Amino acid sequence: MLTGMHVVILGGDARHLEIIRSFTDLDANVVLIGYEDVKEQLHEVRHAKLTKEVLSKADVLILPVVGTDDHGKIESSFSTETLMLNKEYMSCLPKHAKVYSGIAKSYLKNLCSEVGIDLIELLNRDDVAIYNSIPTAEGALMMAIQHTDITIHGSRCMVLGLGRVGLTLASVLHRLGAHVKAGVQKPEQFARALEMGIEPFYTKDLYEEGANADIIFNTVAALILTSRVLTRIPHHAIIIDLASKPGGTDFRFAEKRGIKAMLAPSLPGAVAPRTAGRILASTLCQMMQDEQRNRNREQMDILACPSGV
């Protein structure tokens, strides 16, 4: 249980509704900021404005999956109000408080560092990222089916990057009967692709390898599909870029060349928000229960220690 814990949820999207329900089920005190337009009924929560007083009582501050933008703006799907997180607000958090987001840009990292508050990026955890790769792969498949006139079975698919998302996606495509190539950077990834029955190549050879692709899925968060590489991509091919903004594709040149290229970050929140929310909620609740147990244990140790020792 999280009885007595004060949780402030600042901004967010449909995924956060599952997080809210999980916290209230565990008896946490939940305060919502930026949820005045939410349509679903949320029980045992308090709505509030962004104030120093609200933050001063928080044990936990939960931000949107993307954290903040480069200027501190907080996104909320349930509010038209502009929410900005700055040093003045962050300084009001108690020193024991923790800030959680999916990922964090430099602005948020620097802000937490300046005020001495712990920041946890949930999507850096292997378990969360692997679970999250499932709705990401399903969403990417949905987009591929919607934007092509061929079946996945028998298509020539290319997955760039064989990290946690790339592995899941390549595996699903392979099981559906696609001819899958995987662009990798490390020898161990090359070996893993071969073990899976997928044809690997090194991304330095992408210019030569891209000539016959029907569907390209990019997971690399760096410009990899450059204008030079795109000159080799067939006009009928589509590119689904799953990397975080701005993606790994020269979208201007792709459009100029007549190649359909789509940036599709944060697919779990778009195609399966309930599942994605449950993944985050389960991890958050477990981490907070562990934290609370550790804190209680420390307090018991202090009480048990004789004075003056």
Query: Locate tokens 């962050």: which residue?
Result: 90
Same domain as 153, residue 176:
yes
Query: Looking at the structure, do residues 141 and 258 belong to the same domain, yes or no?
Result: yes
Which are the contacts of 175, defined by CB distance < 8 A and separation ≥ 6?
none
Residue 134 and residue 249 share a domain: yes
Same domain, yes or no: 27 and 104: yes
pLDDT at 78: 96
Residue 299, in any domain of the structure: yes
Do 10 and 54 fall within a single domain?
Answer: yes
Three-state SS annotation for the chain = CCCCCEEEEECECHHHHHHHHHHHHCCCEEEEECCCCCCCCCCCEEEECCCHHHHHCCCEEECCCCCCCCCCEECECCCCCCEECCHHHHCCCCCCCEEEECCCCHHHHHHHHHHCCEEEEHHHCHHHHHHHHHHHHHHHHHHHHHCCCCCCCCCEEEEECCCHHHHHHHHHHHHCCCEEEEEECCHHHHHHHHHHCCEEEEHHHHHHHHHHCCEEEECCCCCCECHHHHCCCCCCCEEEECCCCCCCECHHHHHHHCCEEEECCCHHHHHCHHHHHHHHHHHHHHHHHHHHHHHHHHHHHHHHCCCCC
Q: Is residue 153 part of a domain?
A: yes
Residue 25 sits in a domain of what CATH number?
Answer: 3.40.50.720
106 is a domain residue: yes
- For residue 1, is it within any domain? no
State the residue range of the domain holding 252.
Answer: 127-269
| pLDDT at residue 232, as a whole number | 96
* Pick from 210, 157, 211, 206: nearest CA to 185: 206
pLDDT in the model for residue 135: 95
Q: Are residues 260 and 281 in the same domain?
A: no
pLDDT at 62: 97
pTM here is 0.84
Same domain for 139 and 248:
yes
Residue 38 lies in a domain: yes
pLDDT number for residue 301: 62
Number of domains in the chain: 2
Residues 182 and 246 in one domain: yes
Asked whether residue 309 is assigned to any structural domain, the reply reads no
Looking at the fold, whether 187 and 240 belong to one and the same domain comes out as yes
Provide the token pair at 8. 């402030």
Are 71 and 142 contained in the same domain? Answer: no
In a domain, 108, yes or no: yes
212 lies in some domain: yes
pLDDT by residue, tens only, the chain of 309 residues: 889 899 999 999 999 999 999 999 999 999 999 999 998 889 999 999 999 999 999 999 999 999 999 999 999 999 999 999 999 999 999 999 999 999 999 999 999 999 999 999 999 999 999 999 999 999 999 999 999 999 999 999 999 999 999 999 999 999 999 999 999 999 999 999 999 999 999 999 999 999 999 999 999 999 999 999 999 999 999 999 999 889 999 999 999 999 999 999 889 988 999 999 999 999 999 998 887 777 666 666 666 665 555
Q: Same domain for 196 and 292?
A: no
Residue 295 pLDDT = 67
Q: Say yes or no: 84 and 155 in one domain.
A: no
